[in-house]
Chains A and B, each alone.
Chain A
């Protein structure tokens, strides 16, 4: 069974600090990994995608993937109050398949002004 685990939080971080969000997954053959941000009452929006081991940076966001340990993380530098949201980790099993993503329950992030 495919499982994606996240700490539900809330994770409270002071404004300007680094927010660190973690995610573990159970299926070793997982190919693609995504971080989505979801504001309350809204649909998810894509923040980052990562496919190979290591770090991937995009602006204030850095995704980290470690397939051997089966975890993926998201770092948010210089956290802003507008970053307060629920962050969903999502995993896709087959590279070329048409499977939908498997989502974690999300981590509720609160950036304190």
Chain B
């Protein structure tokens, strides 16, 4: 159980274009999902907390107008990287918890974004 599906797994886009990444909880409902970014040889950095039916909460330094998050249902959150630039190239990973309290996070397979 507790499967999180992320799509696409890999995307290459041109500078200035937008890219949408989908994150789905397949066998549980997730009122909260989390979006992380990981640069090579770096740790996972929390970008934002996605809340179903309300606005996302962004971490300090993350531009909310550049990284648009929509959490329209209990099983789907999307991250759109708008006007992508080469420095946005990274590994984006979504995660969700299948329970409250001390439940661990389960991660999607990640999306490797390359902006040329």
Contact = CB atoms under 8 A, between A and B. Distances in A.
Interface stretch (A11-19, A60-68, A75-83, A103-111): A103-111
A46 interface: yes
B34 A100 contact: yes
Given A98-B31, A101-B105, 16 more contacts: A32-B102, A32-B104, A34-B105, A36-B107, A43-B6, A43-B107, A43-B110, A45-B107, A46-B106, A49-B102, A49-B104, A51-B102, A88-B43, A90-B105, A102-B46, A103-B45
A44 B66 CA distance: 25
A95 interface: yes
Contacts of A43: 6, 93, 107-110
Contact of B43 (A34, A45, A92, A104): A104
Given A88-B43, A96-B101, A42 B112 contact: no
Contact of A34 (B36, B104, B108): B104
B102 A44 contact: no
B49 interface: yes
Contact of B95 (A96, A100, A106): A100
Interface residues of B, number: 27
A46 B103 CA distance: 11
A113 interface: no
A98 B32 contact: yes
Secondary structure at the B interface, as helix, strand, loop or mixed, is strand
B5 to A, nearest CB: 11
A92 B44 CA distance: 14
Contacts of A95: 101-102
A100 B36 contact: yes
A31 interface: yes
A59 interface: no
Q: Lowest 4 CB-CB distances: which A-B pairs, in order?
A: A100-B34, A105-B43, A43-B110, A43-B107
A98 B33 CA distance: 9
A13 to B, nearest CB: 20
Nearest to A4: B43
